[in-house]
Structure 1
């Protein structure tokens, strides 16, 4: 693994108010803004791909477009023990309410680059100079697939793909990022 980027930037935070879940924007209840709500997916992905522990290299948290009690954009740079970099970008700054927002996951190794734009996924490989379109599940469909998998695992009494320990590790990194960013 050389580096990875996980970007999840959705539309304005007012959508949570319109959807009746304004608590997401209350730091006393939700614990944070875009980083905690959306960025946890990228942090979890980084943790699952990292070699050894992840360290927090830098964090930037902004609130320039939609002033409120939580940030509207955050950027983390993480590094694993092997030196691979992981960039997590999360925000409420996409200028559209379109489902999926501005989404890109990029995973890069010495021989392969995987790029997922939500509605289009490619894999480029250096050794054979191939660029292949991969089958895709739209981000909105992915949540339904995760729910189906969760219910299936519960019925089979199988463990979840992400444990409570994995969740705690991701939340701990996010807590550290908020602490490093300061008030």
Structure 2
């Protein structure tokens, strides 16, 4: 499977590119106007282009991964559709709901996926299967903590300082909440196999001096009445516990520690509601969510059954946008 990447920043370079290789694919080309990004790609024998149009015209791609800043997703997605190339686009779909709706209309009838990599993490897939198998009885609540430290000057060291577009409201569409929370909301719905139909958000700008939120609490419920709670933040020191996922059921509790994030591994434990006994839930600890996601999208390109859905992702974006817009008016 021949992949191209638009936007060769740290996530694409350090996580998706290795994920493509681990899935059996080949990253053949990138499109990024940055000389640093192009030099990084070419040092690994990867073709580098200034524009996605040039890359699509020349590189004979099977699929495309879009990892630009959020406000720049639409043009590469439309270019991929025009070229007939399946496209996997980073979350959120776009920085604004209007742009997300535009992308949704553009990809009608075309293979498109939003890169919610957490739904592909082997630990989370194992938890979803355990829930389907009745390991905790009827689910009652999903509780998430997903936090990190992103200050105003944050940047991957190889890119230098001053390029933290994630704290730029125009480029990102918001702050910590739009960056981190959608992963958890999508994951919660996947785990319990029910869409969210209610959502409330409270925001804070507590620690960092930038124009976006540095943390938030989200609470909601699914169509069937399962409660969902998520604390996401850019203001949590990374030596502290900051990645935890719990699914409470009438017969037990599943607890995942250090599975939320870009890397492989972590642990999942099941605690019995009757005895209190704990048992480990096995999963593929050496497979990263990016590798699993790349494999899943490649399988979809080959025509296999898949769970990528623009309709589902747009429904979540609409629900999120309504709650986020209201929350920002009170920040």
- TM-score for both structures, normalised by structure 2: 0.48
Aligned to 1:88: 230
If you compute each CA radius of gyration, which structure gives the higher value, 1 or 2? 2
Assess, with a 3 A threshold, how the Cα gap between structure 1 residues 137 and 181 changes in structure 2: closer, same or farther: farther
Distance 1:125 1:16 in 2: 43
- Judging by fraction of residues, say which structure has more strand: 1
Distance 1:28 1:139 in 2: 37
Assess, with a 3 A threshold, how the Cα gap between structure 1 residues 136 and 70 changes in structure 2: closer, same or farther: farther
235, 243, 252: which one aligns with 1:112:
252
Distance 2:158 2:326 in 1: 31
Gaps of 5+ in 1: none
Contact 2:196–2:220, Cα closer than 8 Å, also in 1 = no
The answer to whether 1:11 aligns with 2:11 is no
How big is the shift at 1:140? 8.8
Distance 2:212 2:250 in 1: 38
CA distances 1:51-75 after superposition (whole Å, capped 9, x unpaired): 465212x321001111212111011
Assess, with a 3 A threshold, how the Cα gap between structure 1 residues 131 and 102 changes in structure 2: closer, same or farther: same
Distance 2:270 2:205 in 1: 35
- TM-score for both structures, normalised by structure 1: 0.82
Gaps of 5+ in 2: 1-138, 259-265
How big is the shift at 1:111? 0.8
CA distances 1:73-104 after superposition (whole Å, capped 9, x unpaired): 011110224332100221112213x6x97101
Number of equivalenced pairs: 179
Aligned to 2:205: 63
Aligned to 1:123: 270
Aligned to 1:47: 189
How big is the shift at 1:161? 2.4
CA distances 1:108-150 after superposition (whole Å, capped 9, x unpaired): 1101211001222101123565311123566992223222332
Higher normalized contact order (CA 8 Å, seq sep 6+, divided by chain length): 1
CA distances 1:147-178 after superposition (whole Å, capped 9, x unpaired): 23323332x22354231122212222221221
312, 318, 322: which one aligns with 1:166:
312
CA RMSD of aligned residues (A): 2.8
Contact 1:50–1:80, Cα closer than 8 Å, also in 2 = no
Distance 2:218 2:236 in 1: 18
